Structure 1
Amino acid sequence: MRIHFIAIGGSAMHNLAIALHKKGMLVTGSDDFIFEPSASRLARYGLFPSESGWRPEVINRQLDAVILGMHARADNPELLRAQELGLRIYSYPEYIYEQSKDKFRVVIGGSHGKTTITSMILHVLNYYNHEIDYLVGAQLEGFDTMVKLTDSAPVIIIEGDEYLSSAIDRRPKFHLYNANLAVISGVAWDHVNVFPTFENYLTQFSIFIDTIMPDGELIFCEDDAELVKMVNEKKNLKATGYQIPLHAIENGITHLEPGHQELKIFGNHNLMNLSAARQVCERLGISIPEFNEAIKSFKGASKRLELLFSDENTNVYKDFAHSPSKLKATIEAVKTQFEERKLVACIELHTFSSLNKKFLLQYHDTMFNADNPIVYIDKKTFEQKNIIPFSETDIKNAFNDKRITYFDNADNLAQYLLELDFSHTNLLLMSSGNYGGMDLGKLARELNNN
């Protein structure tokens, strides 16, 4: 099989390219710019494009398929050439389904927690050496790539993103997988550039439920009132809810009950994710005691409450949280785990949704549990997205929090943090961006030296 990737450098795209290469297919690809770590990983497998940019001359009738990334526009010259030749063009979720249509497909959806739930499932199955294929949105410890596709694995675990599939396929990705077993972790409005109202966004999850195979099952979070209402309105749907499991917190460590089993993760959000993963693993033949034994060693998904520094007085965490629901849940998790410590919480607003003035109101009261709430927006982000910058008053009013300190310069933010007293205080740094290129690990170490 000869496969060509248009926009091969994307996070999911380059992992799929590597997976198909490992499967023995002849893979080529193009892109206008490829960032790290995609560039190094493609180069390691001999898949890095020989030239930068789009080259319609590489598109020919010998190709069995063209896979189109979300980064490529509808007028991409390679795409136009493929359409002219009548080649089979797939979005990457379409091709994942094409490769897994004869497997048992587990699809994890939800506005938050889906990467962690998927990671937990993979960790447990890997612990017991189960043969599985997968698609997950983070690099996991013990896994070489974020995508694995084989002919032999009977099951595939798929993280089901609700964002659009490609420039010419405006369906949400998770609509294309046709799950045998589906999970929805909760629904909180996101991607306002594509789904302009919450009702429109909610509809995508209703459609996702409708794509479950006739003999399939939905596992869903019972704490989400809108989701419960949606599930109850569905006829002939086999659905099972889940809740936060019994647990106890002692000296900053969470234990599962009964059994007082120590975990490396913490927070109600993570515990809820654990419940979802445990139900999925049960359906795949893993008993509850087996699951509990394996999950003890799970350290968390990449960039999810990742511990950058720790001593007897201070923990510094990095987290991917950026949407209102994730922000609130992550702050609550750290504050609950360390009730005796103060919490300095900093959120970088970076996505198109979070920089939408109407959507900004969704952040109302989300930082209430932080002792020192900080909001950072790189002023260059406003320029790049052609958005009128917010004022400090805009931020404080939207968050309904007059305590917030606002920064639009990374150096000024770093200096402010370095001047704070972090005795008996934790620091939580949250973003889907990179804080203007700030070295967060170096910052964490310097805080300790102060």
Structure 2
Amino acid sequence: MPKQKIHIIGIAGKTSSAIAKMFKDLGWEVSGSDQGMYPPVSDFLQENNITVTSPYNASNVPNDVDTVVIAGNALIVDPNNPEYLKAKTLDVPILSYPEVLQEYVIKNNSIVVVGNFGKGTVSGAITKALSDLGLNPSYMVGGQLLDFSESLKTTASDWSVVEGDEYPTPPLDGSPPVSKFFYYNPKYLVLTSAEWDHYDKFSSEQEYVENYQLLVKNLPEDGLLVINSEGKNTAQLIEHAPCKVVTYGISKESDYLYTDIGLQPYLFGNFNYSNLTAAYALLTEIGFDHDTLVDSLNSYQGLEYRMQKVFDNNSTIVIRDLAHSPVKAQAALEAVRQNWPDHRIVGIFEIFSSSLKTKSVLSELHGKFEAADQIFIPKVDAVERINKENRATGKEIVAAIGEVATYLPKDELLIEALLEQTENTVFIFMSSGGLRHIPERFLESLQSPK
């Protein structure tokens, strides 16, 4: 029997390259394309012998392909992508990213973790625990798990764990965009928080919360909702669940309290303690053994760039974190202050996402960075699609944060400023982007002989 053939349009992303590897492991013949190819994804695809072409061209799509996947922003950049137009003439399935997960990863015992805090960390903790229990789950986590070599895997197990993103994706049939988590059919749902996020897609907090409300309503009667009693807007969601509900937390009265479960984890910070409690609560309710869960969660290392220590000589500590919004930066800084109360705390916060570059977000910045002794804002690149009068400048951003903040648009000057005082200091780099390799350059200078 000939191998199944799949072509992935927009293969150069972290998640889409993981899809390519998953199908390669399933024995499929995999090809893909993108507008440009760069390390580390290009290296990853080459190492796995996956054929990649660039730029987009209709001839890149094999005439005898069995399935086509549209990934990344291929159609956002160009709705008339030539490869997509050709695929539509071939009478084969054309799948979006969440549809791939729905068809190849989601299992009968579908565990989905949602919320705008900690869903990747919780998903990874549950995945590790189920693996340690010998259940070999299928899983997808939107980041690199430090305990696993892959962030996406499909297995023959009847269990799956998926990080459920609330960001809407446009269906390929032209119907209105829906949040990705609606594709994942959860039987077991963990909900960490429903604090308004993605302002560019949800026009109000009410619209954002109602999205979660619909997800909760769709749970099966024999399902389970595990919900954070301390999460924003979570209390109002409980009444919509048609199934059993249990709560968890670190201080507020809950069915599962962090202080009661006997963890001594590798991860630190109250929000990580909350995340681990969520995983413990879910798996205990399902019926798994306490001692095995505690051992697994204690040794869990988390995700790359999720409060990840990349340098530590006791005096100087460097942390990478994907905090991309003011509330996430606040949580990260408070965790650092909690863990290193006697150190100087310096935060570098990149204004990366377009939703942070509008004047409407300036009010959200005030009071979120008080746990730091100093905050640096690197260069803020303009987004052309935001009207000039609505764009927030670097100077306006630091003014909104307060006296603790400094705007340094020149990377060399920023690195020099960081190196001025490194003893007894924790540096935390916060960005969902690459920060133009400032962290790597800073580390190189920090470790070079004086």
Q: Give the TM-score of the pair, scaled to structure 2.
A: 0.89
* 2:442 paired residue number: 443
Deviation of 1:338 after TM superposition, in Å, equals 1.5
1:406 maps to: 407
Judged with a 3 Å threshold, the aligned counterparts in structure 2 of structure 1 residues 311 and 200 are, in CA distance, closer, same or farther, namely same
How many residues get paired? 433
Query: What is the aligned partner in structure 2 of residue 282 from structure 1?
Result: 284
**Distance verdict in 2 for CA 1:343–1:77, change over 3 Å:** same
- Which residue identity lines up with residue 171 of structure 1 in the other structure? V
Residue 35 and residue 213 in structure 1: after superposition, are their counterparts in 2 closer, same or farther (change >3 A)? farther
CA distance in 2, matches of 1:121, 1:295: 8
Q: Which position in structure 2 is the counterpart of 1:375?
A: 377
SS in 2 for 1:87: coil
Whole-angstrom distance in 1 between the partners of 2:192 and 2:374:
29
Q: Does 1:236 align with 2:237?
A: no
Tell me, yes or no, if the aligned pair for 2:112 and 2:184 is still in contact at 8 Å.
yes
Structure 1 letter corresponding to 2:371: N
Q: 1:321 aligns to what?
A: 323
Where does residue 96 of structure 1 map in the other structure? Answer: 101
Counterpart of 2:357 in structure 1 is: 355
* Cα offset, 1:70, TM superposition: 3.4
RMSD of Structure 2 on Structure 1 (CA):
2.5
**Residue 112 of structure 2 aligns to a residue in which SS?**
strand
What does the per-residue CA deviation read over 1:32-68, in whole Å, with 9 as the maximum and x for residues that have no partner? 113322211111222131x312232344663332211
| Counterparts of 2:371 and 2:406, CA distance in 1 | 15
Contact 2:122 2:275 in 1 (8 A): yes
The one-letter code sitting in structure 2 at the alignment partner of 1:184 is L
**Rounded Cα–Cα distance in structure 2 between residues aligned with 1:143 and 1:235:** 33
- Counterpart of 2:146 (choices 103, 117, 141) is 141
What is the aligned partner in structure 2 of residue 424 from structure 1? Answer: 424
2:303 maps to: 301
Q: In structure 1, give the amino acid aligned to 2:382.
A: F
Q: What letter matches 2:302 in structure 1? A: G
The answer on whether the counterparts of 1:309 and 1:445 sit within 8 Å (CA) in structure 2 is no
Superposed displacement of residue 193, structure 1: 2.3
1:9 to 9, 12, 29: 12
- Amino acid in structure 2 at the alignment position of 1:415: E
* Structure 2: stretches of 5+ with no match in the other structure: 253-257
Give, in whole Å, the separation in 2 of the partners of 1:343 and 1:327.
13
1:252 alignment partner in structure 2: none
Q: Could you tell me the TM-score, scaled by structure 1's length?
A: 0.89
Unpaired segments ≥5 residues, structure 1: 247-255
Partner residue, 2:166: 162
- Return the offset for 1:174: 0.6
Equivalence for 2:121: 116
Q: What secondary structure sits across from 2:38 in the alignment?
A: coil
**How is 1:17-416 mapped onto 2 (pairs within 5 angstroms)?**
17-49=20-52, 51-59=53-61, 62-73=64-75, 74-100=79-105, 102-150=107-155, 152-166=156-170, 168=172, 170-232=177-239, 234=240, 236-244=242-250, 257=259, 262-376=264-378, 378-379=379-380, 381-382=381-382, 388=388, 390-399=392-401, 401-416=402-417
Kindly indicate whether the alpha-carbon contact (under 8 Å) linking 1:60 and 1:85 is maintained by their aligned counterparts in 2.
Answer: no
Aligned pair in 2 of structure 1 residues 166, 311: CA closer, same or farther (>3 Å)?
same
Q: Equivalent pairs: percent with the same residue?
A: 26
